[in-house]
Structure 1
Amino acid sequence: MEPIVHTIWEPITGTWQYIVSDPSTKQTAMIDTVLDYNKDTGLISTDSADKLLDIVEDNGYIVTYILESHAHADHLSASRYLQWMLPQRQNERPLVCIGEHINQVQATLGQIYDIPESELCDAFDYTFSDGETFRLGNIEAQVLHLPGHTPDHVGYIIGSNAFTGDSIFNPDLGSARCDFPGGSATALYKSAGKLLSLPGHYRLYTGHDYPPKERRGEHSEPSGAIPYTTVERQSKENKHMKLGTREDEFVKMRNERDSTLSEPKLLRQSMHVNLRGGRLPACSTEGFKIEQIPAGVIPDPTSRIQKTKRHICRDVQVNWLVECQLLLLTWSTGIQDAISFPDFHCFTSNQTGNSVILAVGLAGLGGELFNMANVGVSLALFVAGATLTGQIANVVGPCKRWWLVLANLLQTLMVFAAAAIQAVDHAQGFGPPALGAIALLAFSSGSQVAAMRPLRVPEITTAMATAAWVDLVIDPWLLAVRNRARDRRAMFLASLIIGSFVGAYAHPPIGSSNTLILSAVGKLAVTVALLFGEGELKEQL
């Protein structure tokens, strides 16, 4: 499937901006957006970015990604302004993304422009690795590391379209400079080789164009600016990089040419904003005059309180550490069910079992084996916990860090409270104290499942094993060497089983209360990890 591509020319900086959308789902990415800045007056405006918003609104698009090809040296990114505006028009907050080598550029240029390290850390919502894929609706997109112009440079292949940034220019311009810190003409030659090895019909959308007056083309603006040419045409006509150009020839030409170039007019201003992930410095700095900041153009927080607020208000994304936290919650669930069944003759997490027990008991088939009050309270409070947690999450944002920390903390306190009841009641297993402990554990379990589900790791539910067993064994790629979904399911089932064994074997010697405390400690560890962890998305988006 091919995406819809909107090309938007920004003539002051010669920048091509792109809006790329899956026609079936309207899921959309914006690429290399521009925030208008007048160096002489210090005035910032959002005219260019607002034109992008108009296109999005007119077409009913849902922007999920705001993509940067690199830390631009010639214009300010509008990414954070767009990220602030878009949730007012759609339910989803888009991620601001760039290549993972941005940290190299930040480390080098952050010192040159005296940007505090605290303002560079976690500046982007997500950083891509080379070759990583992500979904734009029903279309798979791929990230290519294209160093040379800058070491962090990436391109995005979406359908048969490659958004190349400054890795290659239109054929009559050739190539971009490589004299920025970490730049390399040799690396740029090899990156161009990657692009020219794509199928001939692929379109190479360039990041900039500076059209000569005589140029007029089929796809050109009135100015002569052209957003793309095909791989086939670039291979035949690019004046610097066409097929047959030797590496040593290109490197010599590029280095000689770069030695004559002056620095970009907005270099300092661009670095101050773009290294911060699209955020302005809090006030004017040397060489960067700021007279007024439009609403929604976000200065970088400078105080610890502001940085902390930004951290806890961000969405938690899934990486290997968050997966480990989900597995630890699964382990805690196994412990709880392993002690709840012998103590209460019901489960506090496994509601499939409780549903069957309830039917068997009400039919009079279980005799005195099951306590219907215990089973009913567990089932009802599990559903109540899931309902309340899920509906609150729908309002406040299901993946917000502060919400997940709060939900897990409350669940942990409930397990500790159930342990206290069991200690006082000596684990009698029936009567009001037992019902209170069951209610706390079941509510906590339902809340846990509902709180973790929006993280979208369906293979690690933290509670339900039946579907995991079936999905594991019917996986058509069960025996593949690399199969992330299979590995997750296997680790989930292993964590649940291990937790169950821990609960079963710990229960007789240390008692119900202490075993529950062990489960609560596991949940507390997850709460702390959620509070302080970064949780950047390092799986496929």
Structure 2
Amino acid sequence: MDPQLTSRKGYLGKLDLSSAEEMTPGTTAASSSAPLEPTIEQSRREPRQFLTSNIDINATLWQLVMYCFMTGFTSAPTFLACYLWCGFQTGGLVQLSLAVARLFATSDRTFHKPDQQALTSLLSFLLGTAFGRIGDKVGPKKRWWIMTATFLMALFTMAAALCAHFSGEPSVAEFRTAASWQNAKGMAALGFASASLGLQGIVAKRLNSQFGTSVVLTTVWVELVNDPKLFALKLVKSRDHRLLAVFFTFLGGMCSAGIVFASSSAVAFGACTGLRLISMLTWLVVPMEKLT
């Protein structure tokens, strides 16, 4: 028999066998795709794993700087309207203590509007920061929680914008005795703004950074001035991060005040809402926590 014919028949036999294996389910060819399944399944799980992972707190500098900027941006409209800092509750608490002292020192038994506004701001701030207990349960450094909390802050400022707009009251009070936002919608605007900073404070605090709560800068000022490397001519994390917190809080207040004077507090809160949404998206670029 011709050797070439024999080799050709052997080749055709192998070809038929391989074709039969590909067409028959459960054969070697069909099972060759099995190793791909875990890879595809793993790729589908990666986004979920990314969102449920802890963030690397050492890579959150500019996200927290943005928080400080939003502190000034949110606080300026409330002070211009009713002379209250919606994030700095020490002043509001002392103002309430003066209202109580007035009951014993004078015959005035009226709970004045500025005192009502201070109480509204304080209670709203406490309610907003109470949402942080959710983060304590699920993990305060989880990416999805921080993004969800930042989204809630945006919703609060959006509600503040709507309430300030429909309150019909001026955005800037010319005198302390003629404070604005005295009706229900105006008080609600103050409350929502305070709640947004209350939630921001606990989210930032749980990250244990140099920025503290990113809301109250008293501790930042004290630690900055007493930093042993305050005048060092080199990069110092503890000093430089606190300087960024102070500068961007100042910048946020200045930008927000410019919008209020040019337009209204509702527009300022609307811009604040957009910035909050951008801030929420920036948490996606923070890498996952490195396992040691």
Which TM-score band applies after superposition, normalised by the shorter structure? 0.7 to 0.9
After superposition, the C-alpha distances for 1:28-47 in whole angstroms (9 at most, x for unaligned) are xxxxxxxxxxxxxxxxxxxx
Change (3 A) 1:330 1:370: farther
> What is the one-letter code of the residue matched to 1:534?
V
Q: Write the distance in 2 (CA, Å) between the matches of 1:402 and 1:343.
A: 35
**Structure 2: how far apart are the matches of 1:356 and 1:494?**
27
Q: In the aligned structure 2, how far is the partner of 1:448 from the partner of 1:283?
A: 47
Offset of residue 360 of structure 1: 2.8
What is the deviation of 1:502? 1.4
Counterpart pick for 1:466 among 197, 218, 222: 218
Equivalent position to 2:246, from 467, 479, 493: 493
Q: Which has the higher contact order (CA 8 A, sep 6+)?
A: 2
2:193 to 430, 441, 448: 441
Q: How far did residue 283 of structure 1 move?
A: 6.2
Q: Is the 8 Å Cα contact of residues 64 and 211 (structure 2) preserved in structure 1?
A: no
Q: Provide the rounded CA distance (Å) in 2 between the counterparts of 1:330 and 1:519.
A: 12
Q: How many positions carry a matched residue from both structures?
A: 241
Q: State the AA in 1 paired with 2:128.
A: G
Alignment of 1:307 onto 2:46: yes
Cα RMSD for the two superposed structures: 2.5
| TM-aligned CA deviation for residue 505 of structure 1 | 2.4
Taking only the aligned residue pairs, the percentage that are identical comes to: 23
Between stretches 336-345 and 302-311, larger displacement belongs to 302-311
1:413 matched to 2:168: no
Match of 2:262 among 469, 487, 509: 509
CA positional deviation for 1:452: 2.1
Kindly indicate whether residue 235 of structure 2 is the aligned counterpart of residue 482 of structure 1. yes
1:455 match: secondary structure = coil
Match of 1:347 in 2: 85
Matching of residue 329 in structure 1 with residue 67 in structure 2:
yes
Q: Is contact 1:344-1:434 (8 Å) kept?
A: no
Can you list the C-alpha shifts for 1:188-247, whole angstroms capped at 9, x where unaligned?
xxxxxxxxxxxxxxxxxxxxxxxxxxxxxxxxxxxxxxxxxxxxxxxxxxxxxxxxxxxx
Post-superposition offset of 1:354: 1.5
Structure 1 unmatched runs, 5+: 1-281, 286-298
Contact 2:86/2:193 (<8 A) preserved? yes
Matches within 5 A, 1:381-420: 381-389=124-132, 391-420=133-162
CA distance in 1, matches of 2:226, 2:264: 39
Alpha-carbon distance, 1:355 to partner: 1.8
User: Equivalent residue of 1:464, what SS?
Assistant: coil
Asked whether the equivalents of residues 129 and 202 of structure 2 are also in contact (C-alpha less than 8 Å), the reply is: yes
Structure 2 CA distance for partners of 1:521 and 1:460, relative to 1, 3 Å: farther
Q: For residue 231 of structure 1, what is the aligned residue in structure 2?
A: none
> Are the structure 2 counterparts of residues 369 and 328 from structure 1 closer, same or farther at C-alpha, using a change threshold of 3 Å?
farther
- The change in CA–CA distance for 1:375 and 1:516 in structure 2 (over 3 A counts) is same
**Residue correspondence of structure 1 range 9-408 to structure 2 within 5 A:** 284=35, 302=41, 304-320=43-59, 322-364=60-102, 371-389=114-132, 391-408=133-150
User: How far off its partner does 1:369 sit?
Assistant: 8.7
The superposition leaves residues 341-397 of structure 1 with CA deviations (integer Å, 9 ceiling, x where unpaired) of 1213322111122122222343339x99961111101111211221232x1111111
Give CA-to-partner distance per residue, 1:88-126, whole Å, 9 cap, x none. Answer: xxxxxxxxxxxxxxxxxxxxxxxxxxxxxxxxxxxxxxx
What is the Cα deviation at residue 319 of structure 1? 4.0
Letter in 1 for 2:151: L
Gap change, CA 1:369 and 1:332, over 3 Å in 2? farther
Output the amino acid matched with 1:383: L
Distance in structure 1 (CA, Å) of the matches to 2:90 and 2:113: 15
Residue equivalent to 2:277: 524
Report what 1:57 is aligned to.
none
Amino acid at match of 2:217: A
Letter in 1 for 2:168: H
- State the distance in 2 between where 1:300 and 1:486 align: 46
Give the corresponding residue for 1:83.
none
Partner of residue 157, structure 1? none
Gaps of 5+ in 2: 1-32, 170-179
| 1-structure distance, mates of 2:129, 2:227 | 29
Q: Following TM superposition, by how much is the alpha carbon of 1:334 offset from its aligned partner in structure 2, in angstroms?
A: 0.3
CA 1:537 to 1:490, structure 2 compared with 1: closer, same or farther past 3 Å? farther
In proportion to residue count, which structure has more helix? Answer: 2
Matches of 1:372 and 1:523 in 2, distance apart? Answer: 29
| SS of corresponding position for 2:57 | coil
- Paired residue for 1:156? none
Q: Equivalent residue for 2:15? A: none
Letter in 1 for 2:189: A
* Cα distance in structure 2, aligned partners of 1:386 and 1:408: 12
Q: Is the 8 A contact 1:329 1:522 kept in 2?
A: no
Q: Deviation of residue 340 (structure 1)? A: 0.2
- 3-state SS, counterpart of residue 271 of structure 2: helix
**What is the one-letter code of the residue matched to 1:517?**
G
Indicate conservation of the 8 Å contact 1:332/1:519, yes or no. yes
Q: Following TM superposition, by how much is the alpha carbon of 1:504 offset from its aligned partner in structure 2, in angstroms?
A: 2.1
Partner Cα separation in structure 1 for residue 161 and residue 266 of structure 2 = 4
Match of 2:173 in 1: none
Mapped partners of 2:43, 2:192: distance in 1: 36
- Cα distance in 1, alignment partners of residues 268 and 196 from structure 2: 16
Distance of 2:155 and 2:41 partners within structure 1: 34
- TM-score normalized by the length of structure 2: 0.75
